[in-house]
Amino acid sequence: MESLLNKPRLVQMAKDKGVDAFIATSPENVTYSSGYWALSQWIRRGPQVFVVLPAKDLEASRVIAPTSLLDQLVDQEDVWIKNVTRFGFFHVDKVEGPVSEADGRLLDLFGLPDEKDGLGALLKSLRSEGLDKGTLAIDEMGLMPGQWERLQQELPQAKIVPATKLFREIRAVKTTQEVERLRRVATIAERSVDAALKVARAGMTEVELARVFHTTTVQGDATPVLGCIGFGTRSAMPNVHPTNAALRVGDVIRFDVGGRYRHYRADIARIAVLGEPDPKIVRYHRALHEGVLAAFEAIRPGVKASHVFEVAMEATRKAGIPHYARSHVGHGIGLDGYDMPDLTPGNDQIIEEGMVMCVETPYYEFGWCGLQVENTVVVRKDGVELLHDTDGALRVLA
Amino acid sequence: MESLLNKPRLVQMAKDKGVDAFIATSPENVTYSSGYWALSQWIRRGPQVFVVLPAKDLEASRVIAPTSLLDQLVDQEDVWIKNVTRFGFFHVDKVEGPVSEADGRLLDLFGLPDEKDGLGALLKSLRSEGLDKGTLAIDEMGLMPGQWERLQQELPQAKIVPATKLFREIRAVKTTQEVERLRRVATIAERSVDAALKVARAGMTEVELARVFHTTTVQGDATPVLGCIGFGTRSAMPNVHPTNAALRVGDVIRFDVGGRYRHYRADIARIAVLGEPDPKIVRYHRALHEGVLAAFEAIRPGVKASHVFEVAMEATRKAGIPHYARSHVGHGIGLDGYDMPDLTPGNDQIIEEGMVMCVETPYYEFGWCGLQVENTVVVRKDGVELLHDTDGALRVLA
């Protein structure tokens, strides 16, 4: 079965690092490695789910989930793992007489013994699989304080290594399914910008424009996540949150936006100006745009992330912003808004086919405005493929 | 200035527990205690913000934030804390010539020294305030693995106690501002259900109904969070996620839903039936409804949470579901979907004026359907005040 998880890459990583099993704990890595989207874990801090992935036998992988969240193991087609351990009390009833196949599978899960405590269930599972003497790569991000130490105490013969970064490395090269979801959500973001710009006019507030933007996102069956939309001088704030500030002729409108579709994130930036743009806006935006397009030319399998950074910076400076300064010109995207690779100065990571990246050249000038080009691409054999329709040229609204 | 934070309750808690300073680390507690909504912290795992609250002098409270997130300290009216420490590199430019007052304040923040590392900045701030010899209540939920231990090592003279539960206790009694936001978001949820039911008809899918639901939420300037919407036997899944399953005459439609408005959560449940309902549905739903209404009568300042549980369970059983079983009949709500108090069997917590609760009696019968009544109330001197218009009676759709 196709999975979100890049299984060959996980297996290779296990070989390279001498890992016997990976253990996912954070919502991103749980959903990534199992296909299981455990609602409460995503919308709150606290609820825990664990996924154990023995590298030599992925079919023996196991999900350890709270009883209250079992239903989504049966009802989500992304889930490929068959072994389940449940913990915690949650009461359900059952109709008299026969039930559907899906309900039957669900009732089977509820019929499993209650292991009470999640970490205890994880320990038990590791021991019964003989993994308690191996090298365990544990995603530390989703652990509660003290749990790392408890695992070390209870598994004295295991070698426990942190895995949050390793999971990010595995996630960096997307599977086909992931690329299609990223394409869909990036396209939804782009269309949501279009819908907002279609109705933008003088006097309209940031909140009103955001409402149109998010409505379009929801109509595409995505969930709003990132909604930085600002006018005029406010657009210079990197994380500008919409207020009742009203749009005026000559204002820049900056969007740094994107929702979530079937768990996958979008993050694109677009700039529009209401009426004739100030020549400095046109000049600076063109420079930022050229920076991104130069990065596109530079991106191909085998080059270093830092090379892409240097190319984009130099192109932007040459094209019209000689003082342009940045800590990065982009980042991977997937289940998390910041996947690997980071397009940063010192980063030796090698670009690989199948990576999906947001390439961006933001410019924030307080007292003037913020400008930004941000596009999402997938790395193909010979270069990049854009995951949406347009590449972020300046839009002038009549 | 009015705040989301219940300052008298925090000060009282500090006295009762001998705490010199509270330190917030998780997104809920950071926003709660400072009014500061730090975007990246809310939409990803990893970015950290700290708030130090010296109980004897709240005016000396301090926000410790990444440079990239400083803008929202100036642009959010909820923020009442004046002292800021920043850490991390983030480049911004400044227009030549004068800037607005808001941009000036923002540039002042960017002009602060870069403390590089968040935890280091926290340590430095605690030392300079003389808090390194006191009792520090640190919200462990937002710490990364190893940080608790590092704080203990670096502050050998301090007594460090976990504070996630203490913060939940402080948050349990809402301020006026909080109640108004909770009323608003609960009302948005209720209206979003109404909008969905208005268009529900045979053949419509769960996804289509969810789209109408979430669109209405977004139109109310809230963000979709919880969207369990299921038809027929699927409605029995506690976390049912909308699919292309189509509505049929006689089906139950179960909503367990709610968005986020200005950081505050909603969580209500409503049941409708398309066409004439099966008598068992009517009977069982009425029993669940009576359970919630009996809980309303029982809730008043001074009673135990466990008493409310017992009253609701008994009323539901008496009214028509003799085998009714549950682990809780509700929970507080606020910035988190599960605030205190938990309406559970063993819970001795005393209900207080100003608490806001979701009172619920869900019933999940696999192979048949799920039924649920869930309403949000604020506790007043003499009983409960409903925070939305209707109380969850069964809706029959023509």
pLDDT in tens, B140-159: 999 998 899 999 999 999 99
**Residue that is written with structure tokens 């940063």 in the block:** A344
Asked whether residue B389 is domain-assigned, the answer is: yes
Domain boundary among A171, A202, A226: A171
- What pLDDT was estimated at residue A145? 86
The sign of the dihedral angle between the CA atoms of B92, B93, B95, B98 is positive
Sheet with A369-371, side-by-side order of all strands: A369-371, A363-366, B93-94
Give the pTM.
0.97
Distance between alpha carbon A36 and the CA centroid of its chain, in Å?
Answer: 15
A43 vs B215, B217, B337: nearest CB: B337
Q: Identify whether A1 is part of a domain.
A: no
**What element of type H or E holds B358?**
strand B356-360
Q: What is the mean pLDDT of chain B?
A: 97
Q: How many domains does one find in chain A?
A: 2
Could you tell me if B333 lies within 8 Å of chain A, comparing CB atoms?
no
Question: Measured between alpha carbons, how far is A108 from B142 in angstroms, rounded to an integer?
Answer: 36
How open is the CA angle A146-A151-A152, to the nearest 5 degrees?
Answer: 100
Is B391 inside any structural domain?
A: yes
pLDDT digits (tens, 9 = 90+) for A17-69: 999 999 999 999 999 999 999 999 999 999 999 999 999 999 999 999 999 99
Same domain, A230 and A274: yes
B346 phi and psi angles, rounded to 5 deg? -90, 5
Q: From CA B361, how far away is CA B295, in angstroms rounded?
A: 10
Query: Are B373 and B242 within one domain?
Result: yes
**A324 in the same domain as A217:** yes
In a domain, B1, yes or no: no
Among B171, B200, B225, which residue terminates a domain?
Answer: B171
Q: Kindly identify which residue of chain B lies nearest to residue A280, measuring between CA atoms.
A: B95
Q: In three state form, how does the secondary structure of B190-218 look? A: HHHHHHHHHHCCCCCEHHHHHHHHHHHHH
Q: pLDDT tens digit string along B349-368?
A: 999 999 999 999 999 999 99
- B20 and B151 in a single domain? The answer is yes
**C-beta separation of A352 from A339 below 8 A:** no
Provide DSSP, B334-345. Answer: SSSSSEEEE--T
> With contact defined as beta carbons under 8 Å apart, do A93 and B321 qualify?
no
Does residue B2 belong to any structural domain of this protein?
A: no
CB A204 within 8 A of CB A253: no
Q: What is the pLDDT of residues A119-151, one digit of tens each?
A: 999 999 999 999 999 999 999 999 998 899 999
**Among B25, B92, B263, the residue to mutate for chain A (most A Cβ within 10 A):** B92
Is the same domain home to B200 and B273?
A: yes
CATH code for position A123: 3.40.350.10
List CB contacts (< 8 A) between B207 and chain A: 221
The answer to whether residues A133 and A188 belong to one domain is: no
- Does residue B131 have a pLDDT over 80? yes
Same domain as B372, residue B332: yes
pLDDT digits (tens, 9 = 90+) for B238-289: 999 999 999 999 999 999 999 999 999 999 999 999 999 999 999 999 999 9
Structure token pair of residue B127 = 């030392």
Q: Could you tell me the residue range of the domain that residue B365 belongs to?
A: 176-397
Residue B59 in this model has a pLDDT that exceeds 70: yes
Q: Which residues of chain A have pLDDT under 50?
A: none
Question: Within the 54-73 window of chain A, which residues sit less than 8 Å (CB to CB) from chain B?
Answer: 68-69, 71-72
Helix B206-219 with B176-199: angle, nearest 10 deg:
140
Chain A residue with CA closest to B224: the answer is A223
A90 at B interface, C-beta within 8 A: yes
Residue B1 is predicted with a pLDDT of: 62
Residue A269: what pLDDT?
98
Q: Which residue is it, tokens 């296990």? A: A14
Q: Tell me, yes or no, whether B35 and B139 share the same domain.
A: yes
**What backbone torsions phi and psi does residue B137 show, to the nearest 5 degrees?**
-100, 105
Residue in B closest to A210 by C-alpha:
B221
**So what's the pLDDT on residue B145?**
86
CATH number at residue B348: 3.90.230.10
Q: Does B225 touch chain A (CB under 8 A)?
A: yes
d(CA B38, CA B23): 16
Same domain membership, residue B189 and residue B140: no
A130 phi/psi in degrees, rounded to 5:
70, 20
When pLDDT is averaged across residues B20-42 and rounded to a whole number, the result is: 97
Nearest residue in B to A217, CA atom: B215
Residues in chain A with CB shorter than 8 Å from the CB of B188 are none
Whether B236 sits inside 8 A of A39 (CB atoms) is no
Domain end among A171, A195, A224: A171
What pLDDT score does B2 carry? 79
Q: What is the mean pLDDT of chain A?
A: 97
CA B270 – CA B257 distance, rounded (Å): 9
User: What does each C-alpha distance from A153 to A25, A78, B272, B274 come to in angstroms?
Assistant: 19, 34, 52, 56
How many contacts, defined by CB atoms under 8 Å, are there between A and B? 192
| Residue at A70 is within a domain | yes
Nearest C-alpha in A relative to B38: A239
Which of B336, B337, B335, B383 is CA-nearest to residue B360? Answer: B337
